[in-house]
Amino acid sequence: MIKGINRQLIEITDVGSEYYERALLIVRPEYCDIQNAELEKEAKKILKNVGTPSISRKRQKVFQLILKLSCAAAIGAGIAVMFMSV
């Protein structure tokens, strides 16, 4: 059962992420009197810090590690070929 709750919501539809469609933020009662533009500005600032889902970050880190190891192996092979040809 839902009782009458008077809360102010801010809905951000352009969250700037391919993973999320929109965000709903509930404003604390003591800050309901602040202008909407300032609340939306603060909400967008918070959403920028959210980032990507953790599984995506893990995949990105694994890909970067594989890329770094591949580059190191290629450089090592190149140096070995230079010394072997001398």
**pTM of model > 0.85:** no
Taking the C-alpha atoms of residue 74 and residue 76, their distance in angstroms, rounded to an integer, is 5
Look up residue 41 and give its amino acid. K
Count of helices and strands (H, E) across the chain: 2, 2
Chain segment 3-34, per-residue pLDDT in tens: 555 678 888 887 777 777 888 888 888 887 88
The domain segmentation of the chain, as residue ranges, is: 1-51, 52-86
DSSP string, 12-31: ES--S-SS-S-EEEEEPGGG
Tell me if residue 49 falls in helix, strand or coil: coil
For residue range 31-58, what is the model confidence (pLDDT) as tens digits? 878 887 888 888 888 877 776 667 777 8
